[in-house]
Amino acid sequence: MAHFYQSSRDEVLKELKTSEQGLTPEEVSKRQEQYGLNALLEEKEATIFQIFIDQFKDLLVFILIAAAIISMLSDNVESALVILAVITLNAILGTVQTVKAKKSLQSLKALSTPHAKVIRQGEKQEIPSTELTVGDIVLLEAGDVVSADARLLEAYSLQVNESALTGEAVSVDKGIEPILTENCALGDQTNMVFSSGLVTYGRGVAVVTNIGMETEIGKIATLMNETEARKTPLQRNLDAFSRRLSFVIIGVCIIVFILNMIQGASTIDAMMFAVALAVAAIPEALASIVTIVLAIGTQKMAKENAIIKNLNSVESLGSVSVVCSDKTGTLTQNKMVAQQLYISDELINWDQLHPNQDPDRLLMLACGLCNDSTTTTQQRIGDPTELALVDLLEKYQIDEMDLRNKYNRLSELPFDSQRKLMSTLQMIDGQSTMLIKGAPDELLARCHQVFTVDGIRPLSSTDQQVYQEINQQFAKQGLRVLGFAYKKVDKDELEMNDEHDLVLLGLISLMDPPRIESAEAVADCKQAGIKPIMITGDHKVTAKSIAAQIGIYEDGDFVLDGNELDQLSDEQLKQKLPHISVYARVAPAHKIRIVKAWQDLGHIVAMTGDGVNDAPALKSADIGIAMGITGTEVSKDAASMILTDDNFATIVKAVMTGRNVYANIKNTITYLLSGNFSGILCVLFASIFMLPVPFYSVHLLFINLVTDSLPAIAIGMEKSTRNLLQEKPRDARESILDTITMKRIATEGVLIAIVTMIAYFIGLEESHGLAATLAFATLCLSRLFHGFNCRSKEFIFNIGLFSNMYSIGAFVVGFILLNSILLLPQLNSLFMVTDITLNQLGIIYLLGFIPTLIIQMNRWMKTNKE
């Protein structure tokens, strides 16, 4: 077979090289080496430079530059240098943060890169689609995304949806017949498959003819302009809030400017102070910090086996109240193992087969031949059920590849979810023999005879009843059951109507045990106010058995199958919905209906899936979750999150991380706004009562640089705790700045403003310069301490003072920088601070700590009351 593919490949490449100017694999590799890496590096450099330039595209930066120029013209060179240094440092920090966030998202994108199945060196391999090259032999199956343009060598009932290219939603039948006309539409090229096409049915083998920008979809891509990524709803909300806040603060700054002029300050000094107040008061770093926190969250989820494809999903995860999960591989181990068999009117264990007896031998041939999975020492490729059948053969020292080489597949009818059957045609013992496997209820209806050790006999109604009872017995134990049959035919090509008048061989039960962690994850879901629901294509009895084992199904719950679901009106379904915990034998349309019903009741729904038929439901859910191991590329494309371990427990972890990310963002906003509010209150108080300004412009710039960014980012790094499981899912429509948060911002901001003004008045008894120094240092230190308050709403020792070392680090860096300014003579004049005594330094430390002491004591008392 490999030799046939190689010769066919060579013929296609020879044709391509003369008529279509194709490239050999060696030429492609050389081209990628020459242009691929260099182009990537050039793009990277250009992007970083552009990001750096973008940091200056801000109104406030322009105002600061103007202020620096004014300072230079007024011979205040030191202030000008400080302003320019702050601008440059902010731009560098913003560039570094943005590049890190981009790298995080790019690494996540790389993790979710589609894979392609190829034959190289005569072996079946699975490689990232980016490694495909011209001449590769690609294997296509239902659910795969075509990753390159390719010429078909084989096609079995192959249908491909090429809507990305043609706009036609109807799948196109594909075959190996050559193109008859030169100038035909893409859809007419039935012997070609094109990059971005979705295999919706059948199987095929093709040789790659074009990759990357040389594909048809690549040619279209070159005509498109790049578009900027959309901001998340939270970012848009915060941007709008920042703009409104900016107008308010600019109004305050104008008032402060006028009041300073009235007090006799020069125009330049009044303007410099007003500009510095605006820069210090407006949380212009908020949007970038939110992006960083979201990117950190996605990185954490990636380490926990959940790849987030877009940042919006991180926000939505915290609101999830319903999780609809597939059973196989998500709640279970996805490692099917053969258990008991019913053959020749006898119930036996997996190790009691007799390969020399005709029924047993034919059943074992069906296990290996009516099967598309393969196992090598390097990897296992295929459906878990089919892999279990291969494993069964290996226990009898039978290699599936030896069987397939001995009994070549002549034709096949691939499995699909409607028929629930798969059929293959081989020459066995000199006779064309069709082997069939599938769902027992579907198979039994098509069988008229049964093969036993005593020969072939008619399948009586009693036999039918016995097989049905065995099937039910297996299902009640939570086992998956496959039926096997065969039929001798006089043809070389199978048709759908051949799947009748079959000879029954027997039943094989397989177990996919629940994951050890599934029961705990389900319990965590319920504790967190999230309803877990099982949706599966398995039998109703099987689904209920597994659901009961892991805690999804409880006494009083309902179990519905697809037919029962069809009997319910939308209103009836909504009434029963909270009590239905298991759905069995459901079709794709049912999944969409279930999701929509929950959404109509105001819930945020997460849906898992792995197949082509799951894609519509994944797309309609608020959070579509695809399986990274068993999932098709179609399902991964439709999903917003991919599980690299196909584990339900990972979903619960991701939801908790989503809640934690949202809480961290909220705490970051509280920190920034409460600190900025305290500064505004101090300036307004001094201006209204005609007092000298409490801060110089350089003080406000330092506060903006040190006490805004470092502690805020550290708060965003706060780890999640089990306490998040005690909270109910938040309403996605609620404002991030709710009444409670606004009260907290106001209260904490007033506390910091009070101690700052106390320090100001203490210094004012001696001089204005000392007053400004004490006020600046107290405000700066109290905000550094306040970073610990904003880590959580709980008492600091309940969450652990040292549980977030980033917060400790931010405080230490800020504390050292502040004391360097206060105590080093070289920096005194640069930052316009006066000499202070040890007693005055002690006053700064004491006053700076008082707001945090009051806040933490209040929390401690509340904790003790509870």
Render pLDDT for 578-631 as a digit per residue (tens, 0 to 9): 999 999 988 878 888 999 999 999 898 999 887 666 778 888 888 888 888 767
In this structure, which amino acid lies at residue 811? F
Residue 460 has pLDDT above 90, yes or no: yes
Closest CA to 396 of 443, 368, 355: 355
Residue 342 has pLDDT above 80, yes or no: yes
Q: Is 326 an active-site residue?
A: yes
Contacts with 803 (C-beta within 8 Å, 6 or more apart), sequence order: 719
Q: Which of 326, 498, 637, 646 is catalytic?
A: 326
**CB-CB neighbours of 18 under 10 Å:** 9
Residue 409 has pLDDT above 90, yes or no: yes
Q: Which of 137-141, 223-227, 425-429, 670-674 has the lowest mean pLDDT?
A: 223-227
CATH topology of domain 306-332+515-646: Rossmann fold (3.40.50)
Which one is predicted more confidently, 484 or 224? 484
Structure tokens that stand for 22 in this block:
């194709």
**Is 839 exposed, middle or buried, given 0-12, 13-18 or 19+ CB atoms closer than 10 A?**
exposed
Residue 30 has pLDDT above 60, yes or no: no
**Is 118 exposed, middle or buried, given 0-12, 13-18 or 19+ CB atoms closer than 10 A?**
buried
Which one is predicted more confidently, 504 or 705? 504
Q: Measure CA 266 to chain center.
A: 56
What is the reported pLDDT for 353?
A: 94
Which one is predicted more confidently, 657 or 4? 657
Run of H or E residues at 484: strand 480-488
Task: Assign domain 337-511 to its CATH superfamily.
Answer: Calcium-transporting ATPase, cytoplasmic domain N (3.40.1110.10)
Spatial distance between the Cα atoms of 720 and 703, rounded to a whole number of angstroms: 29
In eight-state DSSP terms, residue 536 is -
Q: How confident is the model at residue 42 (pLDDT cuts 50, 70, 90)?
A: very low
**CB-CB neighbours of 420 under 10 Å:** 16
**Is 646 exposed, middle or buried, given 0-12, 13-18 or 19+ CB atoms closer than 10 A?**
buried
Which one is predicted more confidently, 500 or 609? 500
In eight-state DSSP terms, residue 408 is -
Which pTM was predicted?
0.66
What is the reported pLDDT for 66?
A: 67
**Is 354 in contact with 364 (CB distance < 8 Å)?**
no
Q: How many CA atoms lie within 13 A of 606 on its CB side?
A: 31
Residue 443 has pLDDT above 60, yes or no: yes
Render pLDDT for 732-776 as a digit per residue (tens, 0 to 9): 667 777 888 889 999 999 999 999 999 999 999 999 999 999 999
Q: What is the mean pLDDT of residues 243-261?
A: 77
Q: How confident is the model at residue 46 (pLDDT cuts 50, 70, 90)?
A: very low
How long a stretch of residues is the chain? 866
Residue 52 has pLDDT above 90, yes or no: no
Q: Give whichever of 65-74, 538-547, 805-814 has the largest mean pLDDT.
A: 805-814
Spatial distance between the Cα atoms of 209 and 541, rounded to a whole number of angstroms: 49
Residue 226 has pLDDT above 60, yes or no: no
Q: Hey, is 379 helix, strand or coil?
A: coil
Closest CA to 452 of 440, 463, 468, 436: 463
What is the reported pLDDT for 347?
A: 95
What is the reported pLDDT for 64?
A: 62
Q: Which of 175-184, 362-371, 769-778, 809-818 has the lowest mean pLDDT?
A: 175-184
Q: How confident is the model at residue 14 (pLDDT cuts 50, 70, 90)?
A: low
Q: Measure CA 393 to chain center.
A: 38
Residue 633 has pLDDT above 60, yes or no: yes
Contacts with 795 (C-beta within 8 Å, 6 or more apart), sequence order: 856, 859, 860, 863
Q: How confident is the model at residue 273 (pLDDT cuts 50, 70, 90)?
A: low
Looking at the chain, the whole-number percentage of residues with pLDDT higher than 70 is 79
Spatial distance between the Cα atoms of 428 and 853, rounded to a whole number of angstroms: 85
What is the reported pLDDT for 854?
A: 96
Residue 83 has pLDDT above 80, yes or no: no
Mean pLDDT, the chain, as a whole number? Answer: 81
The yes or no reply on domain 234-301+654-865 and CATH 3.90.1150.10 is: no
What is the reported pLDDT for 440?
A: 94
Domain boundaries, given as residue ranges, for the chain: 234-301+654-865, 306-332+515-646, 337-511
- With DSSP H G I counted as helix, E B as strand and the rest as coil, what are the percentages for the chain, rounded to 5? 55, 20, 25
Q: What is the mean pLDDT of residues 218-224?
A: 54
Structure tokens that stand for 238 in this block:
């915060």
Spatial distance between the Cα atoms of 658 and 318, rounded to a whole number of angstroms: 5
Q: How many CA atoms lie within 13 A of 500 on its CB side?
A: 3
**CB-CB neighbours of 183 under 10 Å:** 5
